[in-house]
């Protein structure tokens, strides 16, 4: 299919990523990628600015767990390096991070409260926030991995769009 190696989806990450080496400098590489994006079927689901490009799932197929693929091209010895990262939509990621930091704050608050209660010779029930918060964080991570499993086909579709562009624009290089 491609001269570029198949890069699998790393299920151990909240936002899976991959790196590819390209045979031309970064500015030329992103220009070629932009040329590949300029097709009727990709105009509605992609965007590019600077040395970045984003691939989105078609609006009719979007779900809460639908990913986006962000690629960034950087200069590297002998050409350039393309760094791709799958992530949830910005609103989903913001909500995820908000809940995550809120739970961490509550864990720290509970630990502090438990310590103050313990030093004051009271029952240190505040410490219960620590295992409860860790359980919530584990659940958040579990939901993230479930979302990745549900979005696996869409992730492969987005990666396939990128691979098709790379094949068409760099196949002869």
Q: What is the pLDDT along the chain (173 residues), one digit of tens a residue?
A: 344 334 454 555 677 889 999 989 999 999 999 999 988 888 889 999 999 999 999 888 989 889 999 999 999 998 899 999 998 888 888 998 999 999 999 999 999 999 999 999 999 999 999 999 999 999 998 988 888 889 889 999 999 999 999 998 887 55
Biggest alpha carbon distance in the chain? Answer: 75
Q: CB under 8 Å to 133, separation ≥6 — which residues?
A: 103, 104, 106, 107, 110
Quick one: tokens of 71? 């690629």
Q: Where are the domains of the chain?
A: 17-88+151-170, 92-148
Given this structure, which CATH class describes domain 17-88+151-170? alpha beta
């Amino acid at each position: 299919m491609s001269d570029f190696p198949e890069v699998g989806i790393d299920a151990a990450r909240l936002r899976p990523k991959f790196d590819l080496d390209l045979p031309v400098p970064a500015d030329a590489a992103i220009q070629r990628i932009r040329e590949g994006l300029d097709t009727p079927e990709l105009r509605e689901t992609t965007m590019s600015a600077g040395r970045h490009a984003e691939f989105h799932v078609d609006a009719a197929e979007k779900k809460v767990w639908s990913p986006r693929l962000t690629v960034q091209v950087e200069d590297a010895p002998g050409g350039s390096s393309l760094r791709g990262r799958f992530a949830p939509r910005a609103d989903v990621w913001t909500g995820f991070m908000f809940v995550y930091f809120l739970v961490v704050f509550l864990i720290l608050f509970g630990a502090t409260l438990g310590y103050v209660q313990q030093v004051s010779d009271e029952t240190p029930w505040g410490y219960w926030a620590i295992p409860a918060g860790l359980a919530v964080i584990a659940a958040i991570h579990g939901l993230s991995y479930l979302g990745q499993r549900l979005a696996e086909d869409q992730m492969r579709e987005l990666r396939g769009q990128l691979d098709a562009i790379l094949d068409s624009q760099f196949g002869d290089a």
